[in-house]
Structure 1
Amino acid sequence: MYCISKCHALYSYSSIAYSTGILVSFMIGSLIFYNISSTEKLNHESSNEEEGSDAWEDILGSGSLLRQIITKGKPDTRPQRLQNCLINFECTLENGTIIEKKEKFKVQVGDYEVVQGLDLALGLMNEGEHCKLKVESRLAYGHKGLENLIPPDTNVIFDVELLSVETDDEPENLNIEQRRIKGNVKRERGNWWYSRGENQLAIQCYRRALDYLDEVEGGIQYPTSEENLEVSDAALQQLLEDRINVSNNMAAAQLKLELYDAALQSLQTVLRCQPDNVKALFRKARVYKAKNDIQAALSCLKKAEKLLPNDADIVKEILGLEKIKEKQKKSEKELARRMFNGLKSDKQMDKKRKSSLPKMLTWVTIGTTVAVGLAGLALYRFKFT
């Protein structure tokens, strides 16, 4: 009996040990499986981080600019405004038609040297990043499209790789030829935006052009292998010509936006250097016309007409302004006539009132006398009757 009990006890202990062993094995197996799964998950996430994600990021929150990262770049290497970015890019329509493809193309961020969507996205990319962009038409080529390549109001896709980022030289550190090249690149981009009706962007480009073409602290250095060679008069004159062209173009964009005071300031800058600049005189006349100073506008146009006789636009504008001036004269005469007639009527009324006053007093006196007489007669008859 004792042996049987002992056997039962041993069996019970064995069962417990077996069950415990199974439980421990299960727990160990679970831990191993969890570790393997976690490792695979981490490896998968790491792979995703390295190669990017299929998800599209809504950069502006409006759906007008989406980004899909293909390869992540170096952390914390985003370009700052006005830094130069070296990029590879390909622009396509949504149907895959290739519109433009460039390699090692240099772009200055924030200067609108490319369409707005690409310019905005570059400021959010890290060096070495490769991504795709879906750009809505208003941030791409807008209502005008692009010649025969992109229809109006068409969305585009960019495949972009940011190769490197570098800081641009300050204008005062550039020689005169480098400044002219930089300034004219900005001016041409401003002209492109102006031709598309994007006047605010055009003005920004023109202002950046003037940063390079205006006088800067430290003077201007002429590119030469010989040191201490002064800048030639011809080089300075060419720089001045470029600066005048930019100011004149900027005035045209400011006129479109009805920034009349700013446009007048730009035109005065031009005319101080070139008093006989016909374009500037014509645009100045338009500013004065908008400010309703017709005489000043005509003065500018008359001078422009002497410099460029029989110009159809100038003649047409002069005729239009003379009609406005004649109409204003008629209005002024009519107003003066009404004012004069009003004064005349007032004088006549005063005179009439003055002439009628003695008559009125006479009749009042007669009336009062008659009334007193009648009252006395009535009282007499009442008393003695």
Structure 2
Amino acid sequence: MAPTSPLCLQPKEEVGSTLDAVQLLARVTHLLPKSRENYLSRCVDLECLRREDTSPKEGQFPSPSSMASCAEEPSEPAAPLPAGVHPLEDFEVLDGVEDADAEEEEEDEEDDEEEEDDDDLSELPPLEDMGQSPAEGAEQPGALAREFLVSVEPTPAPAPAPEEWLDILGNGLLRKKTLVPGPPGSGRPTKGQVVTVQLQMSLENGTRVQEEPELSFTLGDCDVIQALDLSVPLMDVGETAMVTADAKYCYGPQGSGDAPGLVAVVTLKTAVDGPNLELLTGQERVALANRKRECGNAHYQRADFVLAANSYDLAIKAITSSAKVDVTFEEEEQLLQLKVKCLNNLAASQLKLDHYRAALRSCSLVLEHQPDNIKALFRKGKVLAQQGEYSEAIPILRAALRLEPSNKTIHAELSKLVKKHAAQRSTETALYRKMLGNPSRLPAKCPSKGAWSIPWKWLFGATAVALGGVALSVVIAARN
């Protein structure tokens, strides 16, 4: 039986990873000294058996190990190695001698014992390391493979640090910084919800301008300045944040130039769903519409006509929405008066925005409820004048002036429209004359009427009558 080679301890094992390969290499390194001793001892035993046969047969030769172990007997020279065989190569020596059954059994038992010794790894020496003692140089199995894998694996990139300031609009004019985060799972408010905040507002130099322990407003309805309406939806309930805003998001279009910005410390307390308009009572409708109208007035005073028109429109929707709750007659009167006010203010905002069709529709709605409303008549006349309809605008302004003769604004507007209308008529007359070839000069070019100046239509008629009489006389003569 061939000796066990240290490189063939696990001929059927498949190395599937770098860790297995390194562990196999360590085991091979441990086995080399012990395997070589076993190999040499087996070669000595085979050589001793071979000596018993005094006539070696053809094709037999002693192994290199037997030559080394039997060097004390110079009387028997060793046979040369076959060509291409390395001295330390592990190969099976062919023994052509017919041994007895007992000897073969002994060899088999010895081979089994040697194989068991080779398989027993408990007596193997530790892995040797140059310059270190065995205890110091010993390493845990697979440590080298783990170090190799760690060096090969890519190092994950560190997570980016969260930004301290959040640029809400991307232009650096409106920023938010979280001072105290909200509790986990608190959630953020959405458009249409009613939020309650604690507000401390100051100028950039630290001057306190406003402080509200509890301020409630509806998100997205433009009830407050844009800085709050845009930053609160990005906060969690229970969060405290600092908001820095440019003047244009605090004072409206008037906030420009050297107007300072604002710094607000906002704490979002609660966020609940907005009211259901169908379930509101009459007084609740009046209160809600009044709040929206006041917000619109504040925007109008800041010359923010877009937000003003939006607030007035929300107030009108709160008044005109269908109701499932009975409303008293007095409440209906209050709602009607409030609707007229909101429509008048809406028309004024639309007129400032040059939305003439929308403004004309708003004025017409007011006049449906109150035909003698002076503000609606005046604004309708102005809208028609802006559209160039002076002939329609002048009677409307005159009707408004009859209702309030002392109103100087109506007087001035009416006088201006009359002058514009006169200029328009003169321009139209000149245009018509130009289209007709300047008819004012035609009578001068007409020739004087003489004896032969007979109209052609009369001459043609007389000729026709004469020809008809001749034809009639010819027909009568033919019959006779």
* Aligned residue number for residue 154 of structure 2: none
Q: Is the 8 A contact 1:183 1:213 kept in 2?
A: yes
Kindly indicate whether residue 438 of structure 2 is the aligned counterpart of residue 332 of structure 1.
no
* Aligned residue number for residue 248 of structure 1: 344
* Aligned residue number for residue 258 of structure 1: 354
The count of corresponding residues between Structure 1 and Structure 2 is 310
Distance 1:271 1:110 in 2: 31
Quick one: which of 222, 226, 229 aligns to 1:112? 222
* Aligned residue number for residue 3 of structure 1: none
Deviation, 1:314, is 0.5
Deviation, 1:335, is 2.5
% same residue: 30
Pairwise mapping of residues 1-385 of structure 1 onto structure 2 (< 5 A)?
Answer: 15-20=133-138, 55-73=164-182, 74-75=184-185, 77-142=187-252, 144=254, 153-214=259-320, 216-222=321-327, 231=328, 233-342=329-438
Distance 1:182 1:259, change over 3 A: same
State the one-letter code of the partner of 2:322. Answer: E
Q: Is the 8 A contact 2:254 2:303 kept in 1?
A: no
State the one-letter code of the partner of 1:57. Answer: L
Distance 1:284 1:220 in 2: 35
Higher relative contact order by CA 8 Å / sep ≥ 6: 1 or 2? 1
Structure 2, gaps ≥5 residues long: 1-124, 144-157, 448-480
Distance 1:16 1:347 in 2: 138
Distance 1:76 1:67, change over 3 A: same
Deviation, 1:178, is 0.5
**Residues 219-278 of structure 1, C-alpha deviation per residue, up to 9 Å, x if partnerless?**
5434xxxxxxxx1x2221111000110010000000000000000111111100000000
Distance 1:86 1:139 in 2: 20
**Residues 167-196 of structure 1, C-alpha deviation per residue, up to 9 Å, x if partnerless?**
011111100000100111000100110111
Distance 1:196 1:334 in 2: 45
Deviation, 1:137, is 1.2
Structure 1-normalised TM-score? Answer: 0.72
Deviation, 1:333, is 2.5
Distance 2:176 2:251 in 1: 18
State the one-letter code of the partner of 2:232. Answer: L
Decide which structure has the larger Cα Rg and report it: 2
**Mean CA deviation greater in 202-211 or 240-249:** 202-211
Deviation, 1:136, is 1.2
Distance 2:176 2:319 in 1: 37
Distance 1:306 1:129, change over 3 A: same
Distance 2:426 2:446 in 1: 30
Q: Is the 8 A contact 2:347 2:360 kept in 1?
A: yes
Structure 1, gaps ≥5 residues long: 1-8, 26-40, 223-230, 352-385
Q: Is the 8 A contact 1:87 1:160 kept in 2?
A: yes
Distance 2:325 2:359 in 1: 28
What SS class does the counterpart of residue 165 from structure 1 fall into?
strand
State the one-letter code of the partner of 2:344. Answer: N
What SS class does the counterpart of residue 202 from structure 2 fall into?
strand
Distance 1:303 1:152, change over 3 A: farther
CA RMSD of aligned residues (A): 3.3
State the one-letter code of the partner of 1:193. Answer: H
